[in-house]
Structure 1
Amino acid sequence: MNLEIPEGLGDLLRDFTVAVLKERPPDLYDFAVEYFTTARDNRRPKEVPMYIIVEDDDEAGEPDPIMFKPRSSTSRYARRQSVSAERYNPEEDDDEDERVVYPKTDGQRERLTEAVCSILLFRSLEPEQIQEVLDAMFEKQVHPGETVIQQGDDGDNFYVIDTGVYDVLVNVKGDEKKVYQFDNKGSFGELALMYNMPRSATVRATTKGTLWAMDRNSFRKIVLKSAFKKRKKFEALLESVNILQCLDPYERMTLADALVTQTYEDGQAIIRQGDTADGMYFVEDGKIRFTITSSDGREQEIAKQSTTTYFGEIALINNKPRTANVYAVGKVKVAFLERDCFERLLGPCVEIMKRNSQLYTMYADDQ
């Protein structure tokens, strides 16, 4: 009897075996049920939720994205999740289209720069892309009671608040319910542009105010295309790092999205021995040197390295202060991964990192 092995069976069983060996579950059958149920659910198309992003200051002073989900019967508020829908394809974008530029006074540009730089959405943009954002935004005056966006409408513009107070309203069974209020800061309207979704809420001015608006086409060209280029660049960087070969393509893509570029000048300290670890680094471009400071204050160079190097993981793995200094040699670009992202995204690689870190630890103990 000829038996044909179904396509994908080998990969499926291999991945399950790796998961079992890594997790060492006490009950293999329960683990198998949970594993394959999760794998099946991850293959199903996701329902597109209706969200509006608002940014509020948390205790540390950083913007905290919150989303209102009007259709949820179990939870009123939810953290940002991945949204699946028909998307703009940056690979099909025409770079030869003329850039949109709206003239601004020095005062307007200064106010807009301050507002834009505090928005989470723009934090991964390069300085020249930030300038494109500023050029593409135009001023819009609003009056009390004016509806800026209407729930259910197609998205036309993305808005950044300069001045004014704005209520966020969601229609629930025919009644408008206020779910949030912007008070002279914040931004809204990006999801409809990013995911071809109707407006998920109404935003209405309660006072006289000023908004900065960017049209759909400019928003996609600048923000989405830059995000696409950033992901491709970081994916290529991560593929060259040996310890990350255990990540699958989706895990590597998710890791790429979490990285943020930082630039350092010659001689500038990237990390200092004894500091609390806030993340790890991958060298994009340039060279770095490592030093260790002894108990009598003498600093000794121990290594020099260039691209495809990662560092800063030891303190995260051991939950201890930094064990060495790292300096830029010439101008250096690094991709930074925050501590919480490290713990969440690099689980499969931690054991390899632990083995590698023992070499550094042994060297440091000898100094």
Structure 2
Amino acid sequence: MSDPAQSDFHVASDKPFLIGLGVLGGSYLIIIAAMVLADLVFLDYGDQPVLGPELVGQGRYTDSEVVVTVMTGRSYQFSRGRNEIGLKLGNRTVVGNGLYEANTSRAILLASAKGKPITASLRLEASVVAIDVTNNIATLTTDVSHGLLWGQFIRVSDADQSGWNGIHEITDTTTNQLSIILADEAQSAKKLKLTKPNALIQALRSRDIQFSIVLSLISCTITTLLSLWVSVPIGYVMSRYQFRGKPLIDTLLDIPIVLPPLVVGLSLLILFRYVPDWLSDAVVYKWPAVVLAQFMVACAFAVRTMRVTFDQIPQRYEQVALTLGCNRQKAFWRVIMPQAK
């Protein structure tokens, strides 16, 4: 008889598997950290100038330096293209993107090579030339087309009157005019500066975005509470009891998980076509419909989670509690639920 100690049987090491999991998890964390770092470091969260139309004929080919007529003392936004090495303003040459003040009447685009199309950008910073205030509505006229749209936000700074500085929503706009609403005590200003807040601030100040955030917070909170309220008893029953029709119920609970959320939403929409009008009008295309659609998907996952949780709690704990004088309700709340947390 062979010695068991000399058998060829051996237990495989878990080290390769654990190393693989570590590599996958570490790579995922590195990607997330890189995304956060890129958002914090590389994105520009500062205000942007209000710019006029493009002064450079982009796309055309030239064999010489491109000369652009500019106004001395005015600021211009320069963006270097792939075929340019910089911009020459008088005796100064700039190579980086940014806002520069012209100290001459001629700006020269310095091409990196001849025979390539122009890709750089040069735009004049818009300046307010006229201000009119009527019934707390200020109409600002710019010297160039500003390119702003109704509903966007604009930051007013360096105003010589109180009640102007800050971020305002544009209530009306034309080619070179825009209107904003002022505080009741604001007086007509003679000078001010306009800049565009960064996209994040504009998005957070948008009424549509604010409504979406509030709706998401409210609907998710209600959905979570409803899912827990429904999934705990269903998960407990599916875990502890055997009854006729249990496989069918188990299959029905999996349907919202298997189906795409879009199909679940369309199914609910079709369902509410055959319910009474008073119920359909109160739910369809309103916030209760959002809660219901989220609940149908989230509750299925919650039931599965709670069932697995109750499966891992030995029934012996509950039986011991019953023998010590607890009824079924007390045993559930004092023994089962604390362990399920």
TM-score, normalization by structure 2: 0.26
Could you say which structure has the higher strand fraction?
Answer: 1
TM-score, normalization by structure 1: 0.25
Could you say which structure has the higher helix fraction?
Answer: 2
